[in-house]
A and B are shown apart, each in its own frame.
Chain A
């Protein structure tokens, strides 16, 4: 890898300068942050940002937990992008909308449960119920999407299903506006015992819940993909559709399963969104979708563990980046730059490791 970095052409020189700059900004920012944490009057901290105040431990922990819980959600959505890309080689941009459908389904179901009085009296049962319903609805949405929009285009150039997916994305958003209206809709209140700060490190229960549910979903998916024949069939189809077919794998059915599993994960993520933010609107899927897609790319698209790691990375970066790196550098209005930080991290990772953090580096022969 190192020899790839040795500058050969002007473009290589340019990229090398960019890499050094990116690393430099991050390093100086972090050093300044550490300096101001040690002492706000530290000359190094004062030099770069005279108004630096630093963070308390509790505030720092709050940022990290918030980034992790959001990142876990990105990771779950990213799995769907990654799996479809791995198997079909195109980006299903409508996947973010499947996530939105999950969040909407959870909103409708949880409010119904709340009306029936079950939400408060049996919160865990209700939560399980809305997760299952949301997974079912999202699975169905994803499967129908594959059958109606993508299967007829299986043999078309990759750009065509990509554009189609953008169209589907708008279709689902607008359908949501027609059916549910254009305003944001709220989940019922979470029970007090959940929202109260737990004694354990004073972390909010909702965030612990989100991280645990995401970890469970990820574990289930990992077992499915690594340990079962369905998973092996998925990986076989991802590697070589034609050969997989010749080895007796039903390619169409396997692709449907890939969409179904991706949809189910988006369904879980939709509920986690509801638990975290309690508010959903028809464009809820857009930005998380783009971030999840970035997570998949950061982690190495096609690699499931990488997607999850990429999600956590992007979530942490956008949560802590503005205050850890930009604020000590004296940038103003840093919180508004969080999306910029998230995408800058994406570019930074791709500059340093073009295949993503966990991207498989296949030799030309293997790919041939």
Chain B
């Protein structure tokens, strides 16, 4: 028979496969860094030349003329056609709870906004960022292949934006995110652009430096805990936030006893928790996602050295499905301030209550995560920018100046949105930066815990 020969051939093939798989793992890990290291040299320099000082931009000027110098090209929308924008959010899998409300907020904002210079606005089919680098890249390639697209609302996940932002901004489009919070995508809030910053990228979500700082203040000042550790999952969002937390905690005078990482697919957390337990931290911050977050909360109390450690997480886990797990009781969560109160969006005149009512009647449920308001404001900002940067030509077509769209967004100041007052800084951070910390009291009533604010801070 051929047993021996087959076996050895199989083994060789298998060994090769394993070696390749390991290489791929290593390369993909490095790949993230390389991507992030590549600066968007060309686009940054175009910005200052066309910037118009805010005081010159009176409302009358905007409607009579249009913004922009045409340097990034013009999109021509023929009569009867619609202005094309896109939604690129995490709408499937474990993170759909987070991206789906953003996509729906785009739909509702377009409906509330109405026409732009008499032209309809079309979102097309909602694209999926898969909450991953690959997903963001694939979807961005689809988007940039369509030259009629002016702007994109997305992505949900910072990891997806790392790949999508360079592609989309290189094509002259703008990308406005209602969900990204990684500091790497914008700046360190002190004038240094993040490694993944691209000109043409904006966001209404907060920069996680605010979130990390507020969580650190809460732990150090309010809980009086002086030792803390953090765990991320390699995603730019989680890594950035974990880093922001430990940096701020150390700056307050706390002792950072550990900083480690898991893989998104890990289930057995005992090793990483043991590694963390070696430093006996008083608090453990893991701003990651489900399902990995389930396992950390489940297994931490069983690891020697972590029995009394306070568990902390962030907006990635602040959702009803996570809070319904019994092992998450007693945890603290940081997240954007969702006490929107009587805020009204200046472009549509709708309030948060109006939005929630419309959402409920359209989709039969409430939004599962808070970033719907950020998505809504991002969309109305984009539509305002398109309005300002376009005019109807003699043959009846709508001419949208791509550079003008960016020029408008660069100069947004004191814009009233659902999330509060919005103003864009030099690196695309437009969000309010207000952060709250909630305490999770009972897994039987997750809704109540989401509103159980025990601390708030941050903001411009």
Contacts and interface: CB of A to CB of B under 8 A. Distances in A.
- Looking at chain B's contact residues, the main secondary structure is helix
Interface stretch (B155-163, B183-191, B215-223, B265-273): B265-273
Contact of A368 (B1, B96, B325): B1
Contacts of B234: 336
Given A89-B6, A340-B25, A335 B271 contact: yes
Contact of B268 (A70, A89, A294, A297): A70
B304 interface: yes
B253 to A, nearest CB: 20
Contacts of A322: 271, 275
B19 interface: yes
A44 interface: no
Nearest to A70: B268
Nearest to B290: A184
Interface stretch (B63-71, B145-153, B295-303, B452-460): B295-303
Contacts of B94: 182-184, 281
Contacts of A343: 18, 21-22
A339 B234 CA distance: 14
B80 interface: no
Given A66-B270, A319-B268, A364-B4, A184 B291 contact: yes
B122 interface: no
Contact of B295 (A277, A297, A364): A277
Closest 6 CB pairs of A and B: A335-B272, A58-B304, A66-B270, A184-B291, A336-B261, A367-B3
A59 B304 contact: yes
Interface in B205-235: 234
10 contacts: A66-B271, A182-B92, A277-B295, A294-B18, A319-B268, A336-B262, A336-B272, A338-B271, A343-B21, A354-B11
Nearest to A363: B4
A183 B93 CA distance: 6
A201 B22 CA distance: 37
B326 interface: yes
B279 interface: yes
Nearest to B324: A186
Interface in A6-64: 53-56, 58-59, 61-63
B340 interface: no
B424 interface: no
Contacts of B279: 53
A327 B274 CA distance: 12
B278 A297 contact: no
Contacts of B271: 63, 66, 318-320, 322-323, 335, 338
Contacts of A55: 274, 278
Nearest to A52: B278
Interface in B249-298: 260-263, 265-268, 270-272, 274-275, 277-279, 290-291, 294-295, 298
A54 B278 contact: yes
Interface of A: 53-56, 58-59, 61-63, 66, 70, 89, 158, 182-184, 186, 189, 195, 197, 202, 204, 240, 276-279, 281, 283, 286-287, 294, 297, 318-320, 322-323, 327, 333-336, 338-340, 343-344, 346-347, 350, 354, 362, 364, 367-368
A246 to B, nearest CB: 15
Contacts of B268: 66, 70, 276-277, 318-319
Contact of A344 (B22, B266, B275, B321): B22
A61 B302 CA distance: 12
Interface of B: 1, 3-4, 6, 8, 11, 14-15, 18-19, 21-22, 25-26, 92-94, 96-97, 234, 260-263, 265-268, 270-272, 274-275, 277-279, 290-291, 294-295, 298, 302-305, 321, 325-326
Given A183-B321, A279-B291, 13 more contacts: A55-B278, A70-B268, A89-B6, A182-B94, A184-B94, A189-B326, A197-B302, A240-B1, A277-B295, A322-B275, A347-B19, A354-B11, A362-B4
A120 B303 CA distance: 25
A323 B279 CA distance: 14
Residue among B93, B261, B274 facing the most chain A CB atoms (10 A cut-off): B274
B126 to A, nearest CB: 16
A186 B295 CA distance: 11
B14 A297 contact: yes
Contacts of A61: 304
Nearest to B325: A186
Contact of B22 (A89, A240, A340): A340
A62 B274 contact: yes
Contacts of B92: 182
Contacts of A279: 267, 291, 294-295, 298
A277 B298 contact: yes
Contact of A362 (B3, B19, B97): B3
Contacts of A319: 268, 270-271
Contacts of B321: 183
Contact of A59 (B4, B11, B305): B305
B278 A63 contact: no
A302 B15 CA distance: 17
Given A182-B92, A182-B93, A278-B298, A367 B303 contact: no
B3 to A, nearest CB: 4
Contacts of B277: 59
A327 B275 contact: yes
Nearest to A184: B291
Nearest to A290: B21
A309 B26 CA distance: 28
B274 A59 contact: yes
B291 A63 contact: no
Contacts of B267: 276-277, 279
Nearest to B15: A350
B246 to A, nearest CB: 14
A339 B22 CA distance: 9
Contact of B274 (A70, A204, A276, A323): A323
A76 B3 CA distance: 25
A189 B25 CA distance: 35
Nearest to B291: A184
B291 A339 contact: no
Nearest to A90: B10
A46 B276 CA distance: 19
Nearest to A53: B278
B262 A158 contact: no
A279 to B, nearest CB: 5
A327 B279 CA distance: 14
Contacts of B22: 340, 343-344, 347
Contact of B96 (A54, A183, A297): A183
A183 B95 CA distance: 8
Contacts of A62: 270, 274, 302-304
Contact of A367 (B4, B14, B18, B302): B4
A329 B361 CA distance: 59
Nearest to B95: A183
Contacts of A336: 234, 260-263, 272
